[in-house]
Amino acid sequence: MSVAEKYIGAKQPSKPETIYMLRLADNALILGQRLSEMCGHGPEMELDMAMTNMSLDLIGQAKLLFEHILTLEDLAPNIDVLAMTRPLEQYTNCLLVAQPNVDFAHIMLRQYLFSTMQKLQYEALLESNDITLAAIAEKSLKEIAYHIRFAKSWVLRLGDGTEESRSRMVDALDCLWRFTGEMFAQDAGLMAMVKTGLTANFTLTYKNWRLEITHILSEAGDLSPPDTARMIMGGHQGRHDENLGHILTDMQFMQLSYPGLKW
């Protein structure tokens, strides 16, 4: 086997558990990567540090998940090959996490929408028949609580701040809301895992989630979810928009340029 064959790409996961966990890992990895782009460029030094902090948490969560996945299925020689060398269509993160850092309103709304979903998604793992996964979820939930608190406080400030900040929030909602449906889709990958007891079905809480978000948005300068005719889906199945390829170009650069080396 050539070095490239061994160290570039990963085997396609065949177990339903690892397929589902890769989705969780990719969500955390790609959002962490997105946030890390802001390192040194945040609109305020304290906000810069807060975004870096969330990035650290998310990439840390992804690392734990990738490590666990490799104990369940031999997909790659190490977590970095698994995380950083797959072809685009093998990443199964939701589309929301790859959306660009347009401005601080987009970044905070993206975080709020994702983290509130992630809380439900990880709470559904606490009773998992996979105790390692449950432990990862439990640890992550402490971090997620902070992410929600931080992002929510800024959704409120920006929505109910100035005319400019409100109009930026309106734009962010317009762009990002249409990706929220995918996070709660009851697709085959999730439902198979509900059956085996790996996870509870967190998508059943969608209505409550929507009520809570709608309530916070109304407090935030009377914002409301836009009238979205349909939700955009596909990330969990590896059908991505134009953003992910650019994220991967950066993230995969070293692993693809120097396959098999230790760093």
Partner 1 sequence: MYSTDLRTDKEKKSADQQILDDAELWNTFQARIDNGDTIEAKDAMPKKYRQTLIRQISQHAHSEIIGQLPEGNWVTRAPTLKRKLILLAKIQDEAGHGLYLYSAAETLGRSRDDMVADLLSGKAKYSTIFNYPTPSWADIGTIGWLVDGAAIVNQIPLCRCSYGPYARAMVRVCKEESFHQRQGYEIVTVLARGSAEQKAMAQDSLNRFWWPSLMMFGPSDGASTHSSQNMKWKIKRHSNDELRQRFIDATVPQAEFLGLTIPDPDLKWNEERSSYDHGDIDWDEFWAVIKDGGICGKDRIRARRAAAKDGIWVRAAAEAYAAKQSAKERVA
- Which residues are at the interface with partner 1 (CB under 8 A)? 33, 36-37, 39-49, 52-53, 55-56, 59-60, 62-63, 66, 79-80, 83-84, 103-104, 156-158, 160-162, 164-165, 168, 247, 250-251, 253-255, 258, 261-263
Q: How far is the CB of 16 from partner 1 (least distance, A)?
A: 24
CB of 120 to partner 1, least distance (A): 26
Contacts of 3 (CB under 8 A, 6+ apart): 259, 260
* Residue 262 in tokens: 């230790």
Instruction: Indicate the residue among 48 and 123 with the shorter CB distance to partner 1.
Output: 48
Q: How far is the CB of 117 from partner 1 (least distance, A)?
A: 23
Whose CA is closest to 77, among 10, 1, 2?
Answer: 10
Amino acid type, 29: L
CA separation for the pair 24, 15 (Å, rounded): 15
Token pair 């305020």 is found at 44
Cβ 205 to partner 1 shortest distance, Å? 29
Q: Given the complex with partner 1, which of 46 and 242 has the nearer CB atom?
A: 46
Q: Where does residue 51 fall: left (phi above 0), alpha (psi -120 to 50 degrees), or beta otherwise?
A: alpha
Indicate the DSSP class of residue 234.
-
Cβ-based nearer residue to partner 1, 80 or 123: 80
Beta carbon of residue 231, minimum distance to partner 1 (angstroms, whole number)? 29
Nearer to partner 1, 4 or 254 (CB): 254
Closest to partner 1 by CB, 66 vs 122, is 66
Cα–Cα separations (whole angstroms), residue 140 to 60, 65, 135, 234, 261: 9, 11, 9, 25, 30
Choose between 123 and 160: whose C-beta lies nearer to partner 1.
160
37 DSSP assignment: T
CA distance 226 to 177: 7
Phi, psi of 230 (to 5 degrees): -150, 155
Name the minimum Å distance from CB 233 to partner 1: 27
